[in-house]
Structure 1
Amino acid sequence: MADATTHFGGTIGGVPDSVALLQRHAPDAFAAYLAAREAAYRPPPEGHLPVAQKELVFIVLDVAAGHVEGALAHAEAGLRAGLTAGQIMEALSIAILVHGHQCWARAGAAVMRRVEELSA
């Protein structure tokens, strides 16, 4: 198992404050979380999805959950992994169909504003 700085730095660019808090105050829970996250990020052939597709799943799930900070971090990582603004928007359009406009208003629009900034 990698340390948090190495793993999160390599996936989303840094350790989120929420994760750092978990690490400081619940080290056993953090260790389990980190192990599960490392497993989710395994590249093929151990894992089955390319990193860009994994990031797209994370974006949509974070948007559906209203977790703006996570959705933004995964959108940035997704763009670095090769996702396009169109792919992200299409996936978010599907999220709107399933979860309603509120997921767009709470988090999806913020993601696309950030994607626009980074893609400009």
Structure 2
Amino acid sequence: MAHDDLTEAAIQAGIASFEATFGRVPDNFRLLAEHAPGAFAGYGLMRSAIMRDRDAGGALDLKTKELIFALLDTLIGQTAGAKNHAAAAVKLGLTLPELAEGLVQVVMAGGITTWNTTGADVMRHCAGIAAEQP
């Protein structure tokens, strides 16, 4: 299926955004791009606008944005996304105490189930990453 120039540019912006922050386009988003390219294009534009660091015009630094996404994904039980975003934040300098504090805020807002279903996995995952860092 052929895309118009605007849709194609938006798809490329989305791909570039994922590659810049995660190093790849996650499988579920590749599937979306393949079967619903217009939807991926819209998401890609939104993502490329929000996932800019301060030096690229973002209001918040990328580490903070990754933490926010990790916390929001934890709240809704999206474990894979929460782990990916939290890991990206840790690689950008987020400390384990900062992550733990944010995850406790999620528990306060969403209940202990958020910890048991997602938060503990996120903390465990990032503790492993931090232990591997020099």
- Report the TM-score, using the length of structure 2 for normalisation: 0.84
Contact 2:51–2:65 (CA<8 Å) still a contact in 1? yes
Unaligned ranges ≥5, structure 2 = 1-9
Secondary structure in structure 1 of the residue aligned to 2:54: coil
Does the aligned pair in 1 maintain the 2:14–2:40 contact within 8 Å?
no
Displacement after TM superposition at 1:13 (Å): 2.8
- The answer as to 2:85 corresponding to 1:68 is no
For 1:30, which of 40, 45, 50 is the aligned residue? 40
Q: Within 5 Å, which residues of 2 pair with 1:1-120?
A: 1=10, 2-44=12-54, 46-120=57-131
Q: Which has the higher contact order (CA 8 A, sep 6+)?
A: 1
Aligned identity (percent) is 38
- Count of residue pairs the alignment pairs up: 120
- Whole-Å Cα distance in 2 between the matches of residues 13 and 61 of structure 1? 21
Alpha carbon RMSD of aligned pairs, Å? 1.4
Q: CA deviation at 1:8?
A: 1.1
In the alignment, the residues of structure 1 paired with residue 24 and residue 81 of structure 2 have an alpha-carbon distance, to the nearest angstrom, of: 12
In structure 1, what is the equivalent of residue 3 of structure 2?
A: none
User: Partners of 1:51 and 1:3 in 2: how far apart?
Assistant: 17
Aligned equivalents of 1:9, 1:111: Cα separation in 2: 22
